[in-house]
Amino acid sequence: MEYWKLVWVFAVAFIFGGYQSEGLWEIEKAALFQLKSFYQNWYLNVSLFLPLEELKSLDLRNNYIADLSVYLLAEVVLENNKKLEKLNLVNSSLSGHFLLPSTSRRGLSRLDVSSNTLDGNIPNEIGAKLPSLELLNMSNNFFTGVIPISIGDMISLQLLDLSNNKLSGGIPRHFSMGLLPFNVSNNQLFGDIPSSMENMSLLSILDISSNTLSGGIPRWMGKMSNLEALVMANNHFEGLIPMEFCKLNYSLKFLDLSANNISGSLFIKKQAKRADHQFF
């Protein structure tokens, strides 16, 4: 019954595409955002995003929305809905250069635009315009250029996923110390691992695989007591595996150092439960 109510609301809103959304009841406008992936190919009436003063979460993932542009994302959704906290546009046919709102949006805590066809550079001012993000997922797109330094100014950031893009340059020296998963795999990053990452003591997942990173494996990695997965495969790392890695035996569950130029031995303490670890 609830499903058909949503379908009815959807039909009314889109058949009368020229009708201004102010005429819709608030409950009907809210119901529209529950449709999610019921429809595979539909046209999005921009007027629906005229200010919804109480809208806090918008989920349009796994849709094919005709003409869903970055202009709609920045100038309509983010600009008009000032209380928006969560925006999920995973696999929603979003294309073009990623744009930011003209003013800072401190209320937005979660932004996921992964698995689209976004391209160009990630804007340098992303940290200033979206300073309160706790989750930022821009993976599986076609972003180029460097990772913006301003991402390090997102002091509340807990999850960062920029994997599977075409990003180049080095890993920035400054990130939130509260990061848990950090994934920049499958890009074109080069250089060494910044020593400043030693301060990211809460890291649980670090995936920097499939880049052209080089240098030795830092000894301080052995001090990351919360690290459960460390993936550094398919790079140009060289030298010995630091003895400090023995200290990771109590937390580490997945370790992949394959396809590098690493030498030496990896010593495992007897106390470690081998069944919990995978070494390649």
pLDDT truncated to tens, each residue of the chain (280 aa)?
444 444 433 433 433 333 334 444 455 455 455 554 455 555 565 556 566 778 899 898 998 766 666 777 776 677 778 899 999 999 988 888 998 988 899 999 999 999 999 999 999 999 999 999 999 999 999 999 999 999 999 999 999 999 999 999 999 999 999 999 999 999 999 999 999 999 999 999 999 999 999 999 999 998 899 999 999 999 999 999 998 888 777 789 999 999 999 987 766 555 444 334 333 3
Pseudo-torsion of CA 144, 149, 153, 159, nearest 10°? 40
User: Which CATH number does 36-279 carry?
Assistant: 3.80.10.10
Full 3-state SS string of the chain:
CHHHHHHHHHHHHHHCCCCCHHHCCHHHHHHHCCCCCCCCCEECCHHHHCCCCCCCEEECCCCCEECCEHHHHHHHHHHHCCCCCEEECCCCCCEEECCCCCCCCCCCCEEECCCCEEEEECCCCHHHHCCCCCEEECCCCEEECCCCHHHHHCCCCCEEECCCCCCEECCCCCCCCCCCEEECCCCEEEECCCHHHHHCCCCCEEECCCCEEEECCCHHHHHCCCCCEEECCCCEEEEECCHHHHHHHHCCCEEECCCCEEECCCCCCCCCCHHHCEEC
Q: Which token pair is 8?
A: 């009815």
Domain boundary assignment for the chain: 36-279
Q: Is the pTM of this model over 0.75?
A: yes
pLDDT tens digits, 39-88: 555 556 555 656 677 889 989 899 876 666 677 777 667 777 889 999 99
Q: How, if at all, do strands 142-144 and 261-263 pair?
A: unpaired
Tell me how far apart the alpha carbons of residues 215 and 213 are, in angstroms, rounded to a whole number.
7
